Structure 1
Amino acid sequence: MTDARPAAGSGDVEPLDPAQLGTYFVLLEAVSLLQHQVERQLRTEGGISYVQFEVLARLAHTPGPLTMTQLADGVVYSRSGLTYQAGLLEKAGLITRGPDPDDDRATLVAITQDGRDLFHRVLPGHVQVSRRLLFDPLTADDVRQLGDIMARVRDHMRARPPRSATPRKRRDAT
């Protein structure tokens, strides 16, 4: 991707210009640095991963249970990966899973009181890390502009079908 020439077999794909390439790498680096510190804080203070925190956060801020599909779409995680993470959270007593009475194909997920307590225990540290790394170097106007820009990018990306609606790849039966 860093080469200005199209790769062999790439067709007529125009390479990213230097500003686009620089922005791409700065964005990925900033996200990686933030995720690393957030993950460290969550593991230290709560013994949970970032995706587990995201699941608890979504459930803690929803008036009722969510389906596994809704969670997978919300946290942008694979169905199988989310099933594994939900199993760990359920085993720890932080969530419950059960059949949806309105849709026998769906599984409902709800947060338990222990899950809610853990979420509220790790949240202040999460806010501190986020504020220190992401928001402290920005002005209020920067935050508004960054939010507007990233909302446009997210909305553009979300205009495609959600990951949970993507057909599963079938293994060849050879």
Structure 2
Amino acid sequence: MSGTPHDPPHDVDPVRLGAYFALIEVTSLLRHAIEQQLHEDGGLTFVRFQVLMRLHRSPTGSHRMTDLADAVVVSRSGLTYQAGLLERAGLVVRSPSPDDERGVTITITDAGRALLGRVLPGHEEVVGDLLFEPLSRTDAQTLADLLAPVRDHMRAAPPRSVVSRRRGGRAARDG
């Protein structure tokens, strides 16, 4: 290996590295501000907000738990835990899936929709101020156009909840 210990490897593209770190920094700063706002305005975590928003935006107000775990990028057990907290707060209900006897469906309640109604104005303000204020409408569309194929590429892999994991030498399904 040549160079000083502080030099990046020679094959690192500085443009890609710069884009990567800019994206990570922007998402970290934005998520931090959003998490603060959600906690202050509604006692919500980012994951619980994502769950409620996905349910709210669904035409039926419901999702299968496995599909929702994949959508919000959380493990099935992690979603089960979050759904339990939301259910105890009266924001969602869980029930057996009508399409799959082993599946569980989660549905937003009127209280969940009311909570979203309280936190969404502040959420939209934070996102607008931090992400969209420095961008023109054309820039925002360009950003969406640039990120869509990246998101689609990342989502093309099998959902995490259906990929078997190896435990103790045996394949196991995520419970």
If the length of structure 1 is used for normalisation, what is the TM-score?
Answer: 0.89
Q: Does 1:133 align with 2:137?
A: no
Aligned to 2:112: 115
Moved more, 35-44 or 96-105: 96-105
How far does residue 172 in structure 1 lie from its aligned partner after superposition? 4.9
C-alpha distance 3-82 of structure 1, shift in aligned 2 (>3 A): farther
How far does residue 3 in structure 1 lie from its aligned partner after superposition? 5.3
How far does residue 96 in structure 1 lie from its aligned partner after superposition? 0.3
Aligned with 1:114: secondary structure? helix
Aligned to 2:52: 56
After the TM superposition, which residues 14-33 of structure 1 pair with which residues of structure 2 at under 5 Å, given as runs? 15-33=11-29
Aligned to 1:38: 34
What's the Cα RMSD here? 1.6
Choose from 5, 11, 19 the match for 2:9.
Answer: 5
Aligned to 2:142: 145
How far does residue 168 in structure 1 lie from its aligned partner after superposition? 2.6
Counterparts of 1:168 and 1:44 in 2: how far apart (Å)? 38
If the length of structure 2 is used for normalisation, what is the TM-score?
Answer: 0.88
Counterparts of 2:121 and 2:7 in 1: how far apart (Å)? 43
Q: 5+ residue gaps in structure 1?
A: 7-14
How far does residue 93 in structure 1 lie from its aligned partner after superposition? 0.6
Identical-residue share of aligned pairs (%): 54
Aligned with 1:66: secondary structure? strand
Counterparts of 1:140 and 1:82 in 2: how far apart (Å)? 35
Runs of 4+ in structure 1 deviating by more than 2 angstroms, as ranges, are: 2-6
Q: 5+ residue gaps in structure 2?
A: 1-5, 171-175
Counterparts of 1:57 and 1:141 in 2: how far apart (Å)? 26
Counterparts of 2:58 and 2:35 in 1: how far apart (Å)? 23
Counterparts of 1:167 and 1:28 in 2: how far apart (Å)? 29
Amino acid at match of 2:131: L
